[in-house]
Structure 1
Amino acid sequence: MFKNLFGKKTPQKEFITITLNAKLQPMHRADLADALSIVLDKQNIGDICGGGSLLEDNGEIQECDIEIEATDSSEQAIDHILDFLNNTLSPKGSRLSIGDKVIPFGKHEGLGLYLNGTDLPNEVYQNCDINEVWAEIEKRLGEEGSIYSYYQDSAETALYLYGNQFDVMYQLIKPYIDSYPLCQQCRIVKIA
């Protein structure tokens, strides 16, 4: 290690990459990174230094990264990071990379609700509101999950739900999606 002008050692920095198997818009990834930054500061682990998204061919987000410049990469520091993620958002299939070491993690399952944006009668689009769908799904999920992000293109609007169990989330929202006109012809996809 190098010493600075006053003879103190400069802390060695390592880079940690958190790859979340989550379809998060950049603003939603940034919200998570901001919350993680508080933990990093409190534990003197390091700072968020970047992030990004891997896109599918259609432009939908496949997964996203949060990058940390760490001054502490000890096992205890990694445990603090993983504890935070497990208590906020840690979809199955996620991983943490430091150097050549990869630590798989994740306990949450994901459900993608893809609403048909082209094939329903015009009056459905005129009389229904995606914000109502969002609010009702959040209410029905309760403690079992939450909507973390969304995606919209010319054919569909997707809501990304993450929670304890895919099957439980699906059963909780099924009566609503079966009854609300905007949810007709929707697709349900397991995303984590």
Structure 2
Amino acid sequence: MSCSSLKTVSLSLHSSISEINGGTFADCPLLQSIKLDPSDTDFKFNNGALTYYNETKIITFIPSSNIQTFVFPSSMESIGSCSFYNCINLVRVIFSGSRINTIDYMAFYGCTKLSYIFLGTNTHVTTIGSNAFEGCSLLNRCGSITCPSSTIPLFVEHNISKRSFRTDCDIFCESLSNTRSTFISTITLITPFILM
């Protein structure tokens, strides 16, 4: 069912809706906001993301949101299935806490611009679901993921290249001119300091 003209979703306090799944708003290109009753103690909506009230699990992120960098709350424990499904404007995700343990199946499916993931040294992801990063080809670039070394094998099991975790990335650009000269530029990846 298409919702091509939908711009806002309002959930009343006594709504009969008991569950919202990730990917629910995938076909709503104009949607920018989910409005909740100020007294709602079940859900929260902040920075394009619908979460449970205690912010331990993200349910869905609005696919049409213009937000490019999303910082997960420090209380976040789980990224729900299909929660960032086809979020084509998303470029960076940053995990600010140490409680995240699960990235569910198809969580970032179709995030074609997603090019950087940061997980702090105290972050211990133990589960990544199938196709969690399907269609996120930019994550296979050198230096695109910063995470504890113990987490790397888990990402690799889900088709993320080992080069994604390197910190000594060099980019060599060879001239295609008619001359034999070669222009080489080296860009050293600098891991950003993130102030919380």
- Radius of gyration: which is bigger? 1
- TM-based fold match above 0.5: no
Instruction: State the TM-score, normalizing by the size of structure 2.
Output: 0.26
Instruction: State the TM-score, normalizing by the size of structure 1.
Output: 0.26
Pick 1 or 2: higher relative contact order, CA cutoff 8 A, min separation 6. 1
* Structure with greater strand share of residues: 1
* Structure with greater helix share of residues: 1
